[in-house]
Amino acid sequence: MSPRNSKKTEIFLANITSLSHEGRGVTTLHGKTTFLQGGLMDEEVEFHYIKFRNKFDEGQVVRVLKASPHRVLPRCEHYGVCGGCSLQHMDDEMQLQVKQAALLEQLEHFGHLKPESILSPLCGVTWGYRRKARLGVKFVNKKNKLLIGFRERNSSYLADIHRCHVLHPDIGFKLDVLAELIASLQGYQQIPQIEIAVGDTGSALIFRHLQDLTADDLQKLHHFAVLHHYHLYLQPGGPETIHRLYPDDREEYYLSYQLPVHSIELLFHPTDFIQVNAEINQKMVDLAIDLLSPSRDEDILDLFCGLGNFTLPLARYCKTVTGVEGDAMMVKRAYQNAVHNDLHNVDFYCGNLFAIDENQVWLQKSYDKILLDPPRTGALALLPYLNKLQAKQIVYVSCNPATLARDAGILVSQGYRLAKVGIMNMFPHTQHVESIALFER
């Protein structure tokens, strides 16, 4: 009988022969590749099918008959239901191997490249590391319960969880009290999400609400923020409507984080983009500076600079740094951080880095070295202009190995060589692969 004609609950047997670049087990059944969530290489498992596709099928492991030595007991009791993590059944060593293999495979497949040298993985704490997240909120009538957290795996429904081990403990171990607070509000059904941000010395919560909150609800939220030492924001509409309820909104206040090796403190608003893993971010900045080896007579360009995460520490070691960012508010924050750190050899420009204007001021300058940290879509539109700038070194920080591989192939065709590449474990227990590469002309 074809699996397509089977019931969703019917159990099948499989021997897993390899792992996909997302960390799923791979087997072949009925002449067709099947990807199995929760499976590891060389395991014998029982599974049921989740989806049938033209070229491959997908399944979920329900029982392990012969376990891999790399299998571990997931720490989180909600693992397998919550979609926040996908690799908790895999030990740390294997997680790193899977991510490094995915990076090298993508470089060879999309860029037709092999790096001259592979950097040791950047690693840090693997639990309680996540300091930025957006949590869903919903009261479920069938359960008579308010849920708060991430979506279920392969579903649009919220997972029924009461704690999260990857979120910073100031948030992850307080999901129950957050749910209790929201359930006590008159407007509990009008709060669809909470955005969280954690700095070195404080945490912030942004409550999205679809209707005005009552005076009693506002008082409860204020009391909760005082009791748990949160900075609490409200968002009644779009991002421009975000305002602070506690502490007093009349006073300017920012979260912050340190880059201690470089004596830098970066201020940020809870909605600003920052790297989610504080320890890996510190090590990443250190590594990027080490790879670029800036000197006092060099001018450096930092593209997709954000609030100055790389720009400002680089400014400690070179003649000038020019940062370019597409978000005007982030450019403003970067200037603010330059002043805060008493740095005067930096310039920032707001410019669209996906549709380049050749007349932009920053393109009229010359640079010795370049750092870029693009979003998942990569830096394709920038590459012709990077070629014209003729910088002797480029450090490329990537959150998507496929677009890094594509861009790397183009950079090599322009006269660069891929000298070094390595992964950074920014998101332990997930399939996300962060990497860093050094190109030399």
**Does 169 sit behind a cis peptide bond, omega within 30 degrees of 0 on the bond before it?**
no
- The Cα angle at residue 9 between residues 8 and 14, in degrees rounded to 5: 90
How many whole angstroms separate alpha carbon 303 and alpha carbon 217? 43
Amino acid at 227: L
How many whole angstroms separate alpha carbon 371 and alpha carbon 301? 6
Backbone angles phi, psi at 387, to 5 degrees: -65, -40
Long-range contacts: 71-76, Cβ < 8 Å, 24+? 71/40, 71/43, 75/127, 75/165, 76/164, 76/165, 76/166
* Surface-to-core class of residue 183, CB atoms within 10 Å of its CB (0-12 exposed, 13-18 middle, 19+ buried): middle
> How many Cβ atoms sit within 10 Å of the Cβ of residue 140?
12
Residue 334's H or E segment, with its range, is: helix 328-340
How many whole angstroms separate alpha carbon 164 and alpha carbon 156? 18
How many whole angstroms separate alpha carbon 391 and alpha carbon 364? 14
Q: Which residues are catalytic?
A: 399
Contact 275, 296 (CB under 8 A): no
Contact 21, 98 (CB under 8 A): yes
Going by C-alpha positions, the residue among 137, 158, 192, 153 that lies closest to residue 50 is 153
Please give the structure tokens belonging to residue 373.
């940290």
